[in-house]
Amino acid sequence: MTQQINNKISFLESFLNTSLSKDGVNISVWCPFCNNPNKNKLKLAIHLEKNIYHCWVCDKKGTNIPQLIRRINSSKFDESKKIFTSNKSKESLKSFLEDYEDVIVEETVFLPEDFRLLAFCFNDKDPDIRDTFQYAIKRGINKHKMFMLRAGISKDPNFRRCLILPSINKEGNLNFYTSRRIDANTNDSFKYNNANIQKKNIIFNEINIDWNIPLTLVEGPLDLIKVNDNSTCLLGSSLNESMLLFNKIVANKTQINLALDKDAYYKAIKIAELLTQYDVEVNIIDTRIADDVGDMTRKQFEVALEEAKTFNRKDSLMAKINNL
């Protein structure tokens, strides 16, 4: 056992109940994310070589041990930075990501058998298909985005009069889909039909992503119609350490352009604050010109992207004050 690992063990044992594994590499402590008042429940494991943690109860995972320590005991934060950051590197983050991906159980997703790409339905005479095509045009989709997003249609009863957007993973396989009913009088609860799988393990259309250049994050798949090409969506309005997308961003130190709907500004600030704790640069895009990104014109978004401001801790403080 190296002196460095011994130092980590001694530090943790100085203020926590701990349980060290037989190999001396993993140490279990109380999980601050579970909020279990019983401090003897040691369910969060810290890998002392890789500087990663994982709670086997709430499934929280991460690579920033000092931030974990701050949640447990804020007075130990500064000391923890000296002890747990020496081995932290891009390679250790990628190693963590590999471990993370290894435990993901692949879930099978199927599109309807008669799925067709929308781009090939320009002159279709079927009224449902024609209406779906016109709906997509009104949403601002162009030929380039039709192909890039692989937008499609189907006559299957579950997808009739729906715009379908599938998601393809980095290996080129279908891993998710969303479909949006085109009729204006559709109740909110029936507007969308999504694949019934865990979203936290999905990076929407990862096959399109270049992790080495700035990545735009929006809320939903239809928002991707209006934004720049190197983009993906949250499939919601949150991003946290348990999600594959979060860990892939951190592992690659990908600069983020964050564009949530105007009613989710405080959530955007929370996401930005979390990412910056992992040394990820975040730019906040002002989308308040419209109710959501999908309602903006492509030109409006381009201007907003150019004017995006780098997030700093003052933004977080002001958002908290305004949220009171």
The per-residue pLDDT for range 145-165, each reduced to its tens digit, is 999 999 999 999 999 999 999
More confidently predicted of 289 and 314:
289
Of the listed ranges 22-31, 152-161, 175-184, 228-237, the least confidently predicted one is: 22-31
> Where in the chain do CATH 3.90.580 domains reside?
3-102
Range 3-102 has CATH code 3.90.580: yes
209-323, CATH topology level: Dna Topoisomerase Vi A Subunit; Chain: A, domain 2 (3.40.1360)
- Confidence class for position 86, pLDDT limits 50, 70, 90: very low
Q: Are 83 and 8 in contact (CB under 8 A)?
A: yes
pLDDT in tens, 113-142: 999 999 999 889 999 999 999 999 999 999
For residue 318, count other CB atoms closer than 10 A to its CB: 11
- How many residues appear in the chain? 324
Q: Are 239 and 270 in contact (CB under 8 A)?
A: no
The mean predicted confidence, pLDDT, of the chain is: 87
Helix (H) or strand (E) holding 19: strand 19-20
Res 87: pLDDT: 45
Res 88: pLDDT: 44
> Does 296 score more than 90 pLDDT?
yes
pLDDT in tens, 264-295: 888 899 899 989 888 899 999 999 888 889 89
Tokens of 239: 């991003």
> Where in the chain do CATH 3.90.980.10 domains reside?
116-200
Hunting for tokens 């085109």 — which residue is that?
182
**1.10.10.10, 3.30.360.10, 3.90.980.10, 3.90.1010.10: CATH of 116-200:** 3.90.980.10
pTM value is 0.69
Percent of the chain with pLDDT over 70: 87
> Where in the chain do CATH 3.40.1360.10 domains reside?
209-323
